[in-house]
Amino acid sequence: MEEFLKPFKALSDETRLRMLNILTVQECCVCEVMQVLGISQTRASRNLKILEEAGFLQARRDGTWVYYSLNGDSAKNFAAVLAKITGGFTAKSPLFKQDRKHLKKAKRSGLCCGEKSKICNNLRTAGGN
């Protein structure tokens, strides 16, 4: 039963829905997710892991970087069903539109989310959580 409920629990959080929204546009590293959503590295990583364990995402490691993308056709099909159920809410939502706009400005930087990463330090200073 727990495996059956895992995808639904993963979708019950606004942050994770916002992550799925931007990952329908392109593959992202943790730094890009942090920039777009204005959240900390810890929060981004934890929520990306939940989505991955629920089967929505796949992770690809390239050196110190981890890139996340939708997990093939199953995630895309589920997203299509979800869009139909919600009446296209994700396409109309001002917050989701804003996230997609911010994604265009997000940059991958140096050692992704390392202690010396300018992006991570800027988010910490700005109070990203």
Q: φ and ψ at 59, to 5 degrees?
A: -110, 140
Residue 129: the pLDDT is 41
Which pair of structure tokens corresponds to residue 7?
Answer: 């995808």
Statement: residue 115 has pLDDT above 50: no
Average predicted confidence (pLDDT) for the chain = 80
Class of domain 2-120: mainly alpha
Cβ(114)–Cβ(64) under 8 Å? yes
Cβ(65)–Cβ(27) under 8 Å? no
C-alpha separations of 85 from 45, 78, 80, 90, 128 in Å: 28, 10, 9, 11, 32
Q: How many angstroms separate the CA atoms of 41 and 81, rounded? A: 30
Give the pLDDT confidence of 35-88 residue by residue, as tens digits. 999 999 999 999 999 999 998 899 999 888 889 999 887 666 766 666 666 666
Domain limits of the chain?
2-120
